[in-house]
Each structure stands twice: as structure tokens, then as C-alpha cells.
Amino acid sequence: MSTSQVPAAGSPSDAALVLFSGGQDSSVCLAWALERYARVETVGFDYGQRHSIEMQARQSVRAAIAERFPHWAERLGEDHVLDIRSFGAVAESALTADRAIEMTERGLPSTFVPGRNLVFLTYAAALADRRGAVALVGGMCETDFSGYPDCRRDTMDAMQSALNLGMDRAFRIETPLMWLTKAQTWALAKTLGGEDLVDLIVVESHTCYQGERGQLHPWGHGCGECPACELRQRGYEEWDAAGREALAE
């Protein structure tokens, strides 16, 4: 585990912008940021996703956090949704077109949208500049993952340098989940907000690639069969079987 490349947390008076999709990972990131920053805004991207259910989950998670965590509610600022559908059209993949989810000849899942996080971060940094936020918080993760090259911390470090040079700012790209397994992400949720936050994330966040809410499983809503559901289920069950501990600090 290497934490040396993760930028230091900022002053509590700072503002953060969370890249927020309404999924499990970015919901934990939102709670993480609310615990650390005086003002936290969220940004989501409409790049032509097949499932607007993700967009609904974003609002449900935000509303539930505001209702059930009053000390976070006062820090939770505006939500922004940016239309980047032209990027979705260029980067057509299984997430944005009617294609099966499978491994491609490059050894990447067909759900990979080339350079997606680079685009997200560029838009987020431009927005953060206008909103006075110093930290960009995202759920990118190298562990337990499908090998998306734009989720690597090295990519984030390079992107942070590029953004700061190109915008003459000192943004920090913070990735609290970078070295955590999916089980540890549930543990982090418990550390941040107890079983109440775990329950909120189970019920309100959305991860399923098929855009299915369907039945409520112990680990959340979803089809239970796509790679995203499998990953979420496996992580939850691993954490549950290990005694639902909070993350050791």
C-alpha cells in the first residue's frame, strides 16, 4: 500500500467538489468529503448514459444524507450536472450504446469509456475554479478493479499536474478509495457514518450496469448478475462475513 502520492488533506475551511455518480463508491466519497470540508458541492455528468436511474440515485443519496446527517447537511452545497453528451457520442461503449458487456481484445471490459475520468476531471476542475473549491474528490480505485487505466493514481497525479499547470491553480485530486478493496469501502462507510450510512448507501445508491433497481438485496438494488453488481455483492458479503467492522484508522 502506498499513500505517499496521495495529496495531504486540506484545511477544514476549504471547499471540495465531489465527482458524484450516485453509485456506492462516490456516495462514500461524498460522506468522506463532508467529514473533512466546510463546503462540499457535487458534480455529475450526463454523457448519454442509458440509465437515467443513476441520475435519480444521485438526488436520492443527497436528500437522504441531508435528512439523516444534520451536521453534514449544513456543509452540503449545490449539485451540478454537466452535459457532456458529445463525449459520450465519441466514446460509444457498452454504457452508452446497446452493446453486451464483455471483455474486449485490449483486455478491458466493454464498459470502459476511453479517457472518461480525464474528461470528467477537466470539467470538474473548470467548475471548481468558478466555485472556489480546492479539492476534487473521486472514487477512482486501483484495487479490486477491472483495470481501467484512467483510475490509476499515477494517472491522477499526471492529471493533477496538468490541470494545475494549465489552469494556474493548486487543485488536489483526492481519491480516498484508491487503495481500498470493495469490502474496505463498506468499512470506510461505517467509519464515516456508522450503520446508518451503510444502510443509506445500500438502499439509495445505484451501481448496476443494467440500470435495474429491482429487488433490494442485502447489498443493495440491482440485477445481481452484471459485473458491477457482482463486485458490489462480493465486497459487501466479504465485509459482512468479517464482522462488519469499521475501517481501522
Write out the residues near Zn ion by the rule CB under 5 A. 208, 210, 222-223, 226, 229
CB 120 within 8 A of CB 17: no
**Min separation Cβ 74 and Zn ion, Å:** 35
CB 222 → Zn ion: shortest distance, Å? 4
> Do residues 61 and 37 lie in contact, with contact meaning Cβ atoms separated by under 8 Å?
no
Nearer CB in complex with Zn ion: 181/210: 210
φ and ψ of 43, to 5 deg: -135, 135
- How far apart, in whole angstroms, are the C-alpha atoms of residue 142 and residue 38? 28
CB of 230 to Zn ion, least distance (A): 8
Q: What beta strand segments (E) does the chain contain?
A: 15-19, 39-46, 76-83, 135-137, 172-174, 216-217, 220-221
CB-nearer residue toward Zn ion: 44 or 222: 222
Output DSSP code: residue 150: G
Query: What's the closest the beta carbon of residue 31 comes to Zn ion, in angstroms?
Result: 23
Which of 20, 209 has the CB closer to Zn ion?
209
- 66 vs 223 by CB, closer to Zn ion: 223
| Conformational region of residue 243, where left means phi above 0, alpha means psi within -120 to 50, and beta covers everything else | left
Three-state SS at 109 = strand
Count helices and strands in the chain by DSSP H and E runs: 8, 7
Nearest CB to Zn ion, comparing residues 99 and 169 = 99
Residue number, 80 or 217, with CB nearest to Zn ion: 217
CB 41, min distance to Zn ion, A: 29
CA 103 to chain CA centroid, Å, is 23
Q: Considering the complex, what minimum distance in angstroms separates the CB of residue 21 from Zn ion?
A: 15
